[in-house]
């Protein structure tokens, strides 16, 4: 982010909190009781992608208006390059550490990508072109595609085609819900990750539209509507009951499975997230300090670097699940993982001070 655009600590705080949640969710820690789908059916990933879209829509729309379309393409291309480099850095670090671990201990955990120790050069080659995206290393490639397309999306929105962008994105998501599932095992070593880009683009686009609207609106205060408030509360209660109390809706099991699908961002997950996001928006608008946490915002301010660091940390610790068997080991590993997030943010802030960038 450039210096002339003031950061909103509420968004950085939420992004930092979501990265902490994702770190816990990727580890076999007891903390997952609080961080993993504790508000119903959606995870921290939905919130992180949406907020990334919101920040992108807000910041790059302003840059577009202050400069030109050509400048926007250059800035988004540079941002895409930065994300890609972080992807390569985290991918290479994970691969190297897992391969060295397999040499040192004579085996590798089943929790780690087997291609990393069976054929590391092939894994690195496929990873560089997004054709091998094992778990924990599949969000940054998706971000690269989204930021590469961002100038086209923002140009369409700015030229009055906002509704067309929304409908087009929604239709792509809708088709994805009922498209045949691809058996990725049969394509090994090609692994396209846990997130279907054609589905998850929708929540990113929703964020972009929200960020664009935020720049348009002079009044940032959101007034609650009783019907939306009650409806959101009922949806959240229902989704919580489905996830944690074993309640089952009246529709068929097949449709129920589709609605909960995380790779395709099923509609119940999306609806639950939308309702929680609406309530958080009301709280953040009415009492901003309730979701403003400077210490956690520090992580959100360096989100890509911190996210890459948590991917490496989780990938390494997943090789040693017994570290989490005892309460003491669980606390030590989990707190140590979170401390490493702050170390990554600190190092990135020092690097940024030497070479200013347009971080979002």
**DSSP labels for 34-95?**
HHSSTTSS--HHHHHHHHHHHHHHHHHHHHHHHS-HHHHHHHHHHHHHHHHHHHHHHHHHHH
Closest Cα partner for 118 from 195, 192, 188? 188
Note whether residue 101 is domain-resident.
Answer: yes
The pair of structure tokens assigned to 186 is 């049969």
Asked if residue 360 is part of any domain, the answer here is no
Report the alpha-carbon distance of residue 105 to residue 330 in Å, rounded: 22
The answer to whether the beta carbons of residues 133 and 191 sit under 8 Å apart is yes
- Tokens 């097949």: give the residue: 254
One digit per residue, the tens of pLDDT, for the chain of length 360 reads 444 456 789 999 999 999 999 999 999 999 999 999 888 889 999 999 999 999 999 999 999 999 889 999 999 999 999 999 999 999 999 999 999 988 888 777 888 898 998 899 999 999 999 999 998 999 999 999 999 999 999 999 999 999 999 999 999 999 999 887 765 555 888 998 889 999 999 999 999 999 998 887 755 667 778 888 899 999 999 888 888 888 877 777 777 778 888 999 999 999 999 999 999 999 998 899 999 999 999 999 999 999 999 999 999 999 888 999 999 999 999 999 999 999 999 999 999 887 555 556
Residue 273: inside a domain: yes
CA-CA distance, 257 to 187, in Å (whole number)?
24
Total domains in the chain come to 1
Closest by Cα among 191, 185, 173, 182 to 259: 173
Residue 191: which domain range?
Answer: 9-354
């Amino acid at each position: 982010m450039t210096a002339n655009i003031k950061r909103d600590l509420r968004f950085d705080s939420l992004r930092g909190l979501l990265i902490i949640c994702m770190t816990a969710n990727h580890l076999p820690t007891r903390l997952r009781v609080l961080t993993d789908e504790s508000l119903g059916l959606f995870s921290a990933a939905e919130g992180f992608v949406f907020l990334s879209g919101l920040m992108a829509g807000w910041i790059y729309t302003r840059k577009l208006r202050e400069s030109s379309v050509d400048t926007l393409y250059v800035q988004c291309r540079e941002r895409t390059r930065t994300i890609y480099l972080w992807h390569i850095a985290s991918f290479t670090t994970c691969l190297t550490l897992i391969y060295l671990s397999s040499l040192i201990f004579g085996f590798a955990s089943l929790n780690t990508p087997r291609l990393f120790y069976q054929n590391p050069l092939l894994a690195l080659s496929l990873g560089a072109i997004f054709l091998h995206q094992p778990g924990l290393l599949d969000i940054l490639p998706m971000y690269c595609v989204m930021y590469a397309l961002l100038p086209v999306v923002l140009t369409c929105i700015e030229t009055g085609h906002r509704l067309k962008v929304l409908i087009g994105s929604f239709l792509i998501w809708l088709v994805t819900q009922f498209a045949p599932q691809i058996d990725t095992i049969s394509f090994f070593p090609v692994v396209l990750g846990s997130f279907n880009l054609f589905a998850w683009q929708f929540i990113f686009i929703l964020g972009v539209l929200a960020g664009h609207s935020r720049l348009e609106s002079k009044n940032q205060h959101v007034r609650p509507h009783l019907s939306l408030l009650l409806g959101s509360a009922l949806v959240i209660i229902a989704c919580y009951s489905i996830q944690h109390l074993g309640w089952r809706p009246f529709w068929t099991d097949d449709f129920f499975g589709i609605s909960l699908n995380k790779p395709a961002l099923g509609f119940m997950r999306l609806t639950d997230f939308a309702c929680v996001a609406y309530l958080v928006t009301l709280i953040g608008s009415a009492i901003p300090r309730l979701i403003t946490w400077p210490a956690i915002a520090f992580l959100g301010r360096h989100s890509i670097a911190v996210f890459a660091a948590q991917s490496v940390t989780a990938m390494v610790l997943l090789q040693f699940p017994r570290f989490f068997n005892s309460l003491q080991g669980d606390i030590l590993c989990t707190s140590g993982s979170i401390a490493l997030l702050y170390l990554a943010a600190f190092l990135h802030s020092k690097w940024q001070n030497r070479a200013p960038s347009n971080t979002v």
